[in-house]
Amino acid sequence: MFEKLLSKLEDPNYPLLGPNIKCLKFWGLLLPEEKTFMRKFYICVHSCMFCFMITEFIDIWYIGSDMNQLITNMKSTMLAIVSVNKVVTYLWWQKDWKNIMAYVTKADIEARTCTDEENREIITVYTRYCRRISYLYWLLTYTTAAAVIALPMSYWFSSSTYRDNVRDGTEDYYQVVSSWVPFNKNKLGGYLAASAVQSFATTYCGGWISSYDTNAIVIMVFFKAELQLIKNRCSKIFEVDDEEEIMNRIKECHRRHNVLVKYVTGIVLRFL
């Protein structure tokens, strides 16, 4: 059952990046090309998330000199800043990211057509490694998000003192994340509404982080694997006696190396 579920994430058009591209599209980091409803919807959600981050900064003003609440706020606010920065830069450089993923997909498909057993073993190893990284990182991120969302509820049911303090007004409700809302979040109705907004933001932030990070890691793993494949090809250039075939092999290794250097250098100059 679990394997069947994971197989749904595969895409024959993207043998390596299939699950990562689907994750990017699901969380709206890879926007549809056409000006469709979904493109507008994702832009709207990203904008709302940016506004939510602002409410976390506003909440700092109302916290005042309460150091415990300030530290709690800063933990989520710093993570929100990192997440929003990733999304903004990814959307701003969307064309560059798509070019890189197009190159990775093309080079990966070319490598998979090779009949050399040693190269095919390298491909199998790095594909399996990328899948493990992606799935385990997703599991870690979504589990963390679920734990953050469930923490206030578990705190409520596990501590009778906390419940009594909330009822008599000596203690405020424990929030999912610290943020400002334009209503009283220390009343039950306002608290539930605020918790719903905060839970959605936490879930979406987790989706942003998981899709962005795993995509970047898989691309870097591929760069390393491509170097291994080129090295292996170079070691076998002179295994034949045909001079024309030797020249073709040299040209192919040179071409793949130049293209790899082009995109690696482009990433360093553009993103770092």
DSSP state of 239: G
Which H helix or E strand runs over 126?
A: helix 117-158
Cβ 222 vs Cβ 16: under 8 Å: yes
SS3 content of the chain, % helix, strand, coil (to 5): 80, 0, 20
Q: What is the pTM of this model?
A: 0.88
**Model pLDDT, residue 180:** 86
Question: Distance between the two ends of the chain, CA-based, in angstroms?
Answer: 41
Separation between Cα atoms, residue 221 and residue 146, nearest integer Å: 29
Enumerate the domain spans of the chain: 2-11+18-271
What phi and psi values does residue 74 have, to the nearest 5 degrees?
-65, -30
Predicted pLDDT at 73? 78
| Cα–chain center distance at 121 | 27
DSSP state of 237: G
pLDDT along the chain (272 residues), means of 10: 75 92 94 85 92 87 75 81 88 90 92 85 92 94 93 88 85 86 86 92 92 94 92 87 87 91 74 54
